[in-house]
Every structure is written in structure tokens, then in C-alpha cells.
Amino acid sequence: MDMIKPVILWTDILIWLLVISLSAFLFTLRKNPESRAQWRQVFSSKLGMVTFIIILSYIALALIDSLHFRKALSHTEGQDIETVYYSNTVNSALDALLGEMGELKERSYSSPFSLKSFTKENMTDENGQPYRGYPELEHAGSHLDNKTGHINDILLQSLIGIGKGLIVGLFLCALLKAFTRSSDLPWRTAMITLLIVCALLGWMLHVGNLYHVLGTDRAGNDTLYDSIKGIRTGVLIGTLATLIMMPIAITLGICSGYFKGWVDDVVQYIYTTLSSIPGILLIAAAILQFQVFIDLNPNFFEVGLEKADARFLGLCFILGITSWAGLCRLLRAETLKISQLPYVQAAHAFGVSHLRIIRRHILPNVMHIILITFVLDFSGLVLAEAVLSYIGVGVDSAMPSWGNMINLARSELSQEPVVWWNLIGAFFFMFTLVLSANLFSDLVNDAFNPKNRQER
């Protein structure tokens, strides 16, 4: 009997296609000495190596979280033994890696590492007298015989978790050292960063299954679990929306600057009209219409997560459609300048086709703008998801995301005492990803921007 049933979402397919495309890009990069030298400049700095390892860790967790399945339900009395029924709950490989962290649900709020509830409840003492107090949590510290010394246990379990993470990190460092041939890159910095990341993950996985490291939310869900599960949403919305935007901006921008005339007029009219429409209103209207389609066609989706995935894919598409105007303007201006250069005019005189000129002379000379914009727009779109979820038109509540966590935390900040850990959990993971992407984009800009190369 099959114990699990694979579930393939559209976003799962897209993220794995993205990884395959990136691998193909890196393979072709070996044949281009100039591009190889520019990327070597990015990774020759310690900052570039550190930020790349952090971004790669986020992508790895997103890939693990993109392997979905449904567990088989146990047989009931009188049920045909040949018939297998599966749970409506969709799990992922990351859920299996996190262990019971996602299943350790309490009744309501609890602060980080606490063994008692954050809010008072009606209780009865040993004599049956009612009183108001803080009840003990059901799962946090349940392995302890004496909960008075849980501080020492937290320190001990932290050392165990860090030790497990360092063992995995040392194994990955050994693999990295075995496959690296170049000695002029800061591989030592990369290995130290990898050890720190693995130690932190090992600590969160081990201690998070014993205590609520970042507390729980109103529904009793573990905040650390929701924060880690939000990584997939953040990575996907940054990459998919950018990849949807790129072909539109590249095609229209280059055609506008190269062909000029009526083509330029039409493209300018399109992106001027699009830029004059408030982006938030356009995105909100499109998402609401898409949600109506999902609600009217429930037969298209087998489980609830597929509905949330369809809405998420629609959100990525709308963000990509509405954010290409800026890159299109840059590519149009750069193409107008490049098309007047002598070697392009000579190619026209010799009768070279327009497609070949664009492919051989125009596109390679604007590639630095495309790469820089890709990295910059990635972090911007991650933040845009948080803003859209805050106003209620972002990711579906069934899909974990940092924007949904921030949206729920806005009412918690007005409580007395303040429930701050839900906001901190989403903020920490989002801040780390966005900061790493921004720092990495600065290094890409320094390496690929022709003006910076001329100054050096």
C-alpha cells in the first residue's frame, strides 16, 4: 500500500524549472570568458560569498518545501483493505525535516521559550476553588520531569542542536572542498558561513521540537514553523514575478529602441498608460477577479492548498505584468544609444538581419542592465508581497507567508502586554533575505556595469 501520494503544484514545477534553467545558464557561462571573469569578480569578495551562501540556503529550503505529498489514512473497521484514502492535508519534505514542530499546537498565545500560556484562563486549584492563572502549555517542555530547571535544559539542548548542525555543515564543507578547483576565491569565508548557517538551522530544528522558540500565535501555531514555511513563498514570489516581467520588458524595450518609428510610439504609449494606473488598485482588482474564478470553479482543485497555489500563481503573474515598465525604459534608452554605434551601422550596411544584430550586438551590451534589475527587483517583490498581504489582497491565508504573519501581527501590537514575537519572526527571515539580495546586487552592479569597469 502506498503510504504517501505525491502532490504536484504548478509552483513546484516552476521552481524546479527555474533551477534547471539556472544550472544551464551556469554551464553556458563556462564558454564565455568575459562573463566568467565578471562573475569571478563578484565572488572574489568575502561579502559576495557570504550573501550568496545565505541566498542559496533560502533557495535550498524553498526547494525542499516544494516536494509535496499527502499521507495515507489508517483503515477503519469495515473498510475495504484494497482502498486507500489520503489526508486532505498536504505536507512537504520540509515538514518531514522539521519533525513535529508544525504539529505542536497550543490553545493560544505563548511567549518564546515559555512553559505557560501568555494569557490568563479560568482554572481550579487542588481544593476545587476557581482562580485566574497561566495554564501550562501542552507541548513545550513536555520531555521534562521537573520544569523548574528548564533554563539549563534549553542551554543543553541548544548545544546538542548546534552540534548536529555543525556535523552536517562539516560534511557539506568537505564536499565543497572536494569539488572546488580554484584557490583564488574566498572559500574559507564560504565554509565559515556555511557552518554558521547549518549550526543555526540545527539549533532551530532541534530546540524547536522541544520548545516554542518564537512562541505561538493566536491559534496556538508555532511562530518559528510559520516563519520557516514562509521562505518558499518569499523566494517564489521574488523569482517568478521577476521572470514573468523580464521577457516583456526585454522584448518591448529592445524593439522600441532598435526599430524606433511607430514601434517606439506604441511601446511608449503602452508603458505610459500602465504607469499612470495606480499599481495597488490594478493588482487588487486582478487578484479579486481571480479569486472569484477560483470560488466559482471548485472542481478544478482537489485540495485546499491547490486553490491557494492558484491564487499565488495569479499574484506572481499580476506583479510581473505591472512591474516591467521601469526596465523597459532603461533598455529602450540603452538600445537607442547602442544602435547608433559604428559597428551596428556597419552590420546594417552589410545586410545583416535585424534578428542577428539584436542577438549578437544589442542583447549582450544590455545584459548588465538585465542582471542588475533582476537582483534588485527580487528584493522589491518580496517586500511587495508583505504590503499586499497587509491590505488583504496578497497570498491566501492557507499558504504560509511573511506578509500574512505581519498582517496578523498588526492587531497584536496594540494589545497590553504586547505580542511582539510574531512580527519579529517574519521580520528576521525577510530582513535577512532582502538584505543579502541587496548587498549581492550591489556587487553585481559593480562587476557588470560598464561605467564602473571604466572607472576602475
Residue 299's pLDDT band, with cuts at 50, 70 and 90, is: confident
CA distance 54 to 203: 17
Mean of pLDDT over the chain = 82
Kindly state the percentage of the chain with pLDDT values over 70. Answer: 94
Q: Answer with the residue of higher pLDDT: 279 or 75.
A: 279
Which tens digit of pLDDT belongs to each residue from 411-436?
Answer: 777 777 788 888 888 889 989 988 89
With a cut of 60, say whether residue 450 has pLDDT above it.
yes
pTM for the model stands at 0.86
What is the number of domains present in the chain? Answer: 1
CA distance 100 to 246: 40
Kindly state the percentage of the chain with pLDDT values over 90. Answer: 9
Residue type, 192: I
Q: Answer with the residue of higher pLDDT: 268 or 3.
A: 268
User: Is residue 394, in this structure, part of any structural domain at all?
Assistant: yes
Q: What is the pLDDT of residue 438?
A: 86
Residue 1's pLDDT band, with cuts at 50, 70 and 90, is: very low
Q: What is the pLDDT of residue 109?
A: 84
130 - beta bridge partners?
A: 124
Task: Report phi then psi at 276, rounded to 5.
Answer: -80, -10
Which three three-digit cell numbers place residue 355? 534578428
Residues 45-49: what's their mean pLDDT?
89
Residue 220's pLDDT band, with cuts at 50, 70 and 90, is: confident
Residue type, 120: K
Residues 223-243: what's their mean pLDDT?
87
Residue 239 and residue 437 in contact, taking contact as beta carbons nearer than 8 Å: no
The helix or strand, by DSSP H or E, that contains position 422, with its residue range, turns out to be: helix 421-448
Residues 49-73: what's their mean pLDDT?
88
Which three three-digit cell numbers place residue 263? 514601434
User: Is residue 74, in this structure, part of any structural domain at all?
Assistant: no
Q: Answer with the residue of higher pLDDT: 355 or 168.
A: 168
Which tens digit of pLDDT belongs to each residue from 120-158?
Answer: 777 777 777 787 878 888 888 777 777 667 788 889 999
Which of 36, 9, 19, 8 shows the shortest CA–CA distance to 243? 19
Q: What is the pLDDT of residue 77?
A: 60
Q: In 39-106, where do the E strands start and end?
A: 68-72, 86-92
User: Is residue 219, in this structure, part of any structural domain at all?
Assistant: no
121 - beta bridge partners?
A: 133
User: Is residue 290, in this structure, part of any structural domain at all?
Assistant: yes
Task: Report phi then psi at 130, rounded to 5.
Answer: -75, 145
280: number of CA atoms within 13 Å, CB side? 10
Residue 70 and residue 212 in contact, taking contact as beta carbons nearer than 8 Å: no
Which tens digit of pLDDT belongs to each residue from 311-324?
Answer: 888 888 888 888 88
Q: Answer with the residue of higher pLDDT: 361 or 3.
A: 361
User: Is residue 245, in this structure, part of any structural domain at all?
Assistant: yes
CA distance 317 to 428: 27
User: Is residue 30, in this structure, part of any structural domain at all?
Assistant: no
Location of C-alpha cell 523569482: 239
User: Is residue 5, in this structure, part of any structural domain at all?
Assistant: no
Here the CATH number for the domain that contains residue 308 is: 1.10.3720.10
User: Is residue 116, in this structure, part of any structural domain at all?
Assistant: no
Q: What is the pLDDT of residue 73?
A: 74
359 lies in which domain range?
A: 229-455
Residue 4 and residue 72 in contact, taking contact as beta carbons nearer than 8 Å: yes
Which tens digit of pLDDT belongs to each residue from 353-392?
Answer: 888 888 888 887 887 788 778 877 777 778 777 777 777 7
CA distance 377 to 390: 20
With a cut of 80, say whether residue 2 has pLDDT above it.
no
With a cut of 90, say whether residue 160 has pLDDT above it.
yes
Residue 326's pLDDT band, with cuts at 50, 70 and 90, is: confident
